[in-house]
Structure 1
């Protein structure tokens, strides 16, 4: 494999590893928001922002950690036949399915960018009482989807290398 492709795979996997490890700490942020919600409901006036902030934090956790989960192989795979196949056959099937995943994620990213630009142009806000701006969470979603596309391309490069008898 060309050195630039090997460097791409290593760079993408290092980036997604770091972002995924940082995203794990969003669970502590989520816990803090939910703890404040409980305390506020019990002792003060209930907060208007806690439920939606918890949702936004969870979205960030899932989306920013998505590429890291792909990297670790934490995604669900139909293992009925897959586990019995040779590494070469797995690579062939993975190369085809990763193309479908890249296509799907590209469509999601296209729609996400369009929605984000719209949110930025008009200053879109949530329809809840708190009314936060929607652009920041949409930017986070687009970033996470982009990272998953980068990771999917890295998988494709790895699969092609394996089919050529090389290992990255």
Structure 2
């Protein structure tokens, strides 16, 4: 593979790795918020109406920002009826074809995410709950996560093509 493609793959994987590792630790603040909510409701006797919603927002960031890292370490779920019996080169050929559908899907999803985020920022969109938080922060995280996943999918495509050609990108 040409040097620019190799650099692209390395850079995208480095960014995806570090953002994925950061997202991994969001589980701790989520747990702390839910623990606080439980203690406040049961022991102190007052409900915290923002806790569940904040945890849902953090969970969205958790799995969307971790998607690229998950793809990088091959942790996504696969339909493994025939795939595990294939030779590595055959897998790479199949993957380089099927991943084009994933790229298309993520491109459409990213386009919708940008549109939704823009709407949310322009109109100061709020959630229809008692807490009524603005939605743009979670939509920005959503759009960034989808974009990172799209970049990682393209990097994976390059890696699959290189593997199919017998010259894997290290």
User: Normalised by the size of structure 1, how large is the TM-score?
Assistant: 0.97
1:120-131 superposed matches below 5 A: 120-131=121-132
Quote how far apart the aligned CAs of 1:83 are. Answer: 1.1
* CA–CA distance in structure 2, aligned partners of residues 97 and 5 of structure 1: 20
Quote how far apart the aligned CAs of 1:44 are. Answer: 3.9
Long gaps (5+) in structure 1:
none
Deviation string, structure 1 residues 40-87 (Cα, Å, up to 9, x no partner): 102142111001001001111110011111111111112221111111
User: Normalised by the size of structure 2, how large is the TM-score?
Assistant: 0.96
Q: Is residue 103 of structure 2 the alignment partner of residue 102 of structure 1?
A: yes
Find the counterpart in structure 1 of residue 89 from structure 2: 88
Q: What SS does the aligned partner of 1:79 have?
A: coil
Deviation string, structure 1 residues 69-117 (Cα, Å, up to 9, x no partner): 1111111112221111111211111011111001001111111110110
Greater alpha carbon shift after TM alignment, 39-48 vs 28-37? 39-48
* CA–CA distance in structure 2, aligned partners of residues 124 and 45 of structure 1: 28
Find the counterpart in structure 1 of residue 145 from structure 2: 144
Find the counterpart in structure 1 of residue 8 from structure 2: 8
Q: Is residue 117 of structure 2 the alignment partner of residue 116 of structure 1?
A: yes
Quote how far apart the aligned CAs of 1:126 are. Answer: 0.3
The Cα RMSD (Å) is 0.8
Deviation string, structure 1 residues 13-40 (Cα, Å, up to 9, x no partner): 1111111111011000100110110011
Deviation string, structure 1 residues 105-159 (Cα, Å, up to 9, x no partner): 1111111110110111110000000000001100000000000001100110001
Long gaps (5+) in structure 2:
none
How many pairs align? 168
* CA–CA distance in structure 2, aligned partners of residues 19 and 40 of structure 1: 32
Off by >6 Å, runs of 4+ in structure 1? none
Q: What SS does the aligned partner of 1:98 have?
A: helix
